[in-house]
Amino acid sequence: MELRNQSLIGVYADSVESWESFPESFGAFLIRLRKFSGGTAELYRHCMKSFLLGPATFTEKLDLAMMVGWYGLMPLVIANGYLSAYVCHRLWMQRVSALHPALPYLFVVMFLLNTPVLYSAAPTFLHAVQHWFWSSAIYGACLPIASARFLVHLIGARARFDRTPKGGEAAPIGRGTCSAMILLGLATLGISACWYSPFSPVLVGLGVSYLSVPLYTQLNESTVPGAIARLAIFLPGAFYICALWEMWWWQGI
């Protein structure tokens, strides 16, 4: 980015090959996501403004925004979940329908929109469905942790490099992180009950994801906790589907 600000342009070398393997465990994935979040926050602080105002083309600026923009959206997505729960609760208590009759169809389209992409990368349709459930749970569980890392380094703390464990290396999650996620999960489940509405299953799904962070570390293990984790990982997605069903019928109260 700094070189591009000096009007320098890179040269494509087709003989260079590079690859990066996907983390083999939940803990390793979380370490990588936290590392990327912290590094991106520092990029926001030091380089983003000068690059967007610099000589780069609009396409280059848009490409950068698409690559790193979602890191900045993570805290807003979490806040929006709780805000939506409160607004839906107030409307539900006042017996007001929050949805336009066409919106349930939009929600269904949003659920199904990524199905062709998942299916194109999966050997069977069932594998694609499984991937959707797993990704819903895992990304939901990681979102608060990655958001916290992003905000800390956006405010001013210097980002640090955390090596992603390779192969069968252990990737433990700190007790403090596990304890914080359990407390956040319990609080989210409590809020879903206090602010009840057809949107509540979304908060329940998120709360289950947060509570399951310690359990998800066993996903790759051939143990009883590992088997339980591989069953529990379907719960958040099931609650999201339940929320879709509830919101579908939230019309004409």
**Tens-digit pLDDT profile for residues 32-67:** 898 889 888 988 888 888 888 888 888 888 888 888
pLDDT at 106: 73
Q: How crowded is residue 115: how many other Cβ atoms within 10 Å of its Cβ? A: 13
Separation between Cα atoms, residue 180 and residue 186, nearest integer Å: 10
In a domain, 3, yes or no: no
Confidence band for 150, pLDDT divided at 50, 70 and 90? very high
Which of 118, 61, 107, 70 shows the shortest CA–CA distance to 201?
A: 107
Query: How far are the Cα atoms of 31, 95, 154, 187, 191 from residue 136, in angstroms, in the given order?
Result: 18, 31, 26, 20, 20
Cα separation, 125 vs 194, in Å, equals 38
7: in domain: no
Report whether pLDDT(24) > 90: no
Q: Which domain holds residue 143?
A: 23-159+173-248
Asked if residue 12 belongs to a domain, the reply is no
**What is the domain count for the chain?**
1
The predicted pLDDT at position 252 comes to 46
CB 201 within 8 A of CB 84: no
The runs of H, that is alpha helices, within 6-57 are 26-43, 49-52
Is residue 17 situated within a structural domain? no
What is the biggest distance separating any 2 CA atoms in the chain, rounded to whole angstroms? 64
Residue 173 is given by DSSP the state -
In a domain, 227, yes or no: yes
**Host H or E run for residue 64:** helix 58-93
Residue 15 counted as domain residue = no
pLDDT in tens, 65-78: 888 888 889 999 99
In a domain, 166, yes or no: no
d(CA 5, CA 193): 51
Residue at token pair 């939901």: 140
Please tell me the chain's helix, strand, coil percentages from 3-state DSSP, rounded to the nearest 5: 70, 0, 30
| CA distance readout (Å), 31 to 28, 44, 78, 143, 236 | 5, 20, 20, 12, 22
Q: Is the pLDDT of residue 253 over 70?
A: no
Q: Is position 114 within any domain?
A: yes
